[in-house]
A and B are shown apart, each in its own frame.
Chain A
Amino acid sequence: MQVSLKVKRFDPEDSGGKTWWQEYEVDIHPDSTVLDALIKVREQVDGTLALRCACRASICGSCGMRVNGNAKLVCKTRVVEVAPNGEQLTIEPMGNQHVVRDLVISLDTFFSQINRVEPYMQPSFVPEQGEYTASNDSMENLLTAMNCIMCGCCVSDCTVLEVDSNFIGPAALAKAWRFTEDPRDDKRNERLKSLNDEDGGIWDCTRCMKCVEVCPKDVAPMERIMELREAAIGAGNTNTSGYRHTESMYNSVRKHGRLDETRLALDSAGWTNIPRLLDLAPIGLNAMMKGKLPPVFPHKAEDNKKVKDLYDRVEGDQK
């Protein structure tokens, strides 16, 4: 069958860098992956097209790119899945990372993020003989994150990195989780504290779910980040606007059945954090002028008790 591809090209050597779209049509087997199609283009139509690929079996992590706007590992994306009716496919390099040529992005962003989380085991002792003793469940738990093949799809589509390049990023935080959850690692508290305190750390995730959606290996980085937050709070790291934000939201909804947005902003900043409060003032003023300031005394939900029941049930389940 025929597949039509529209590929975003970039030539860094053409007078400082030229970007253009190029269309290709190739004949493929109906079971083919998007990678098969691209390789066919490269080998039979246009030898100048640059892309990375290696294993063809979704284990090496080389072939992350955007297909119709979403980051995918193209070796495990079948053409019929993304173009069931023969639609043209749009292929672009991954986002949030510098493009080297065509579909090839620089790996520097990704690996500099990984490097920020001390990505190696730091045990407190070496067993006199043999291996560390650890339960099989504790090791299987880590498989979630060890499934990460460092393809960079999550980094590509992370909506936080789009606006804040200082965010440690979903892959590196999932990697950090792999160590905080490893019973053999001795630096759990130090790791949690630094991930909690650091600018760009665990509280910078906006929970948009994009990384969970695009991860081809079910690492679900955002869920790992949420677990890191819980663990960080559990380890006593409560002096952050992130924690205060969470706590304020919890209290507000429990009390009023609704979110008290004014209080949330003030709680998150911290009542004694004068500089941060002063930062908020113009925003508040602006909102007031436009009639968008939330009420100072929050409305209560009509049936507040139901909300409280929900809290009790969820918390009961957790116990």
Chain B
Amino acid sequence: MYEHDVLIIGGGLAGLRAAVEVTRAGADVAVISKVHPVRSHSNAAQGGINAPLTDRGDDWEGHAYDTIKGSDFLADQDAVEIMSSEAGDAVIELERMGVIFSRGEDGKLGTRRFGGQKKARTFFVGAITGSAMLHVLYEQALKLGLNVYEEWFVTKLIIEDGACRGVVALDLKTGELHTIKAKAVIMAAGGAGRVFEPSTNALICTGDGLGLAYQAGVPLMDMEMIQYHPTTLARTGILLSEAARGEGAHLLNANGERFMEKYAPDYMELASRDVVSRSEQTEINEGRGVDGNVLLDLRHLGREYIEQRLGYLQEVSVEFLGIDMAEQPVPVQPGMHYIMGGIKTDVDGATSVPGLYAAGECANVSVHGANRLGANSLLDTVVFGRRSGAHAVEYIKSVGDHSRAEEDLASEKARIQGILDRPQGERAATVRDDLATGMTKGIGVFRDQASMEGALENLLNVKKRLPNVSVENKGRVFNTDLMFALELEFMVECAEGVVGGALARKESRGAHFRTDITERDDENWLKHTLVYKDESQEHGYRVDTSPVTITQWEPVKRVY
């Protein structure tokens, strides 16, 4: 019997930061994750974390406005105000925990410039900021003796009398299913990049958290807002941080022109990511690409500077493409990178289900709106991870004894045995590939009604094939084959959210750029899309909308 006051699903930055908060408040907390915490995808964040530090002449309103403009005015401004005003403390706290942020001459934290922002306010550790932060938060977890269910896969949320009271989870090392009871659950299970192919995301980013919450009746919000990162390495799709452009790299087309002049004369390569990705795709589509790529040129920065400030980028460029950045420009292309959308939460991480919180990439607070600024995702994880933890601690004070129901465990056992017992059908990987390539094709950098309907058709076809997905490995110990089949079901839920939101939004805003409706429509669409699971509907979901919170910045035309 496993019981905790608070159970956190996910051991990345949001989850660990939430865990630190709950521990500090003296409550009993555990983290559960399908991978060891240091394997989490927070690792992959390279460039840095934004914070307007007031003692450096910055002000939070400046960061808030850049974020809101970056979001194409879809972010909820009350949430952005909170994130921007808490950012300074969040970064200082990380430094005090031990993060080895880069410094200036005075020994104080130094910054680099990032896209879509007027000021240099991005704090960083070379090009391994996410990894450096994650390892330090994990150090804190070790210091606090945090209880971690390592390599446990959550298959279902337990909802009792409308409130979340724990999970059913599979211990991968034994193959046993268990109930873990909790007075509150914080979902910090990361993004859903693998719903697209290719993607910069780790193979573990299968949207499990989004799927779990969606199945529990929580709406997924603004899922059509898919970030395509402007610089992913040709062929491999590996991410090359925006830090390259922040440090001064240029984007060139086949003619050697800095084409961003045409699209964003003021910000050039450092315009918002959606803008840069569209510009690149336009160059490529109009025949000025190089084998389906554009070129990222760092040569003028010099070898020493590249190796010192962007060491990891040089490493992957050499390792994976055999290209020395100091000598040659690197071929790059837009690649699926991040979901701005997610589980709808309020500014304390609370969802529509009492006792269920969400933070990090799986959540949508919403601070990123229709396009996230680079280096705001790390900030999002620690600010809203902390707030979710703090609020969950308050919430559990009003929650009585743990639930005693074991029905969910029994039904999950039956469901999973059913999957294992299926006669040989299709492999999960085959169906997943079809789902993901269809999603990229239909919901790409550019999209239109026909392409999105194509994605829906593909999704419906995949849903039909799901019951025929079989598991070759019948063993219990570390049966990843079974886990992939379970993940695929969550991926399909995420895809439903994306397609549902995309087809509903009849305008172009941020990352949702429709070639058939190219303008933003504030009159009708300054609102969030909400997709609910609803089996009574034709396609199994229904779409609703909710208003965007505007505090002090009226939407204006977005120019970079």
Q: Which residues of A contact B (CB under 8 A)?
A: 11-13, 31, 39, 42-44, 46-48, 50-62, 76, 78, 100-102, 104, 107, 111, 114-115, 119-121, 123, 126-127, 129-136, 139-140, 142-143, 146-150, 182, 184
Contacts and interface: CB of A to CB of B under 8 A. Distances in A.
27 contacts: A43-B429, A47-B481, A50-B473, A55-B44, A57-B238, A58-B319, A59-B43, A59-B312, A60-B39, A61-B39, A62-B35, A101-B478, A114-B142, A115-B142, A119-B142, A120-B97, A121-B139, A123-B96, A130-B92, A131-B95, A131-B101, A136-B102, A139-B101, A139-B102, A143-B100, A146-B100, A184-B98
A148 B128 CA distance: 11
Interface string B66-104: 000000000000000000000000001001111011111
A114 B143 CA distance: 12
A56 B315 CA distance: 14
A99 B489 CA distance: 30
B290 interface: no
A201 to B, nearest CB: 19
B55 interface: yes
B436 interface: no
A139 B105 CA distance: 12
Contacts of B140: 120
Interface of B: 35-36, 38-41, 43-44, 53, 55, 92, 95-98, 100-110, 125-126, 128, 131-132, 135-136, 139-140, 142-143, 150, 173, 202-204, 235-236, 238-239, 308, 311-312, 315-316, 319-321, 427, 429-430, 471-473, 475-481
A48 B103 contact: no
Most buried by B among A59, A61, A104, A114: A59
Contacts of B126: 143
B480 A50 contact: yes
B35 A47 contact: no
B92 A56 contact: no
B97 A121 contact: yes
B238 A56 contact: yes
A57 B44 contact: yes
Given A55-B202, A131-B92, A139 B476 contact: no
A58 B313 CA distance: 11
B135 A146 contact: yes
A121 B321 CA distance: 37
Contacts of B475: 11, 13, 48, 101
Contacts of A104: 478
B138 to A, nearest CB: 9
A195 to B, nearest CB: 17
Contacts of A134: 103, 107
The 10 A-B residue pairs with the shortest CB-CB distance in the complex, in nearest-first order? A47-B472, A43-B429, A121-B98, A136-B103, A120-B139, A133-B107, A48-B473, A120-B143, A54-B202, A131-B95
A84 B476 CA distance: 38
B161 to A, nearest CB: 37
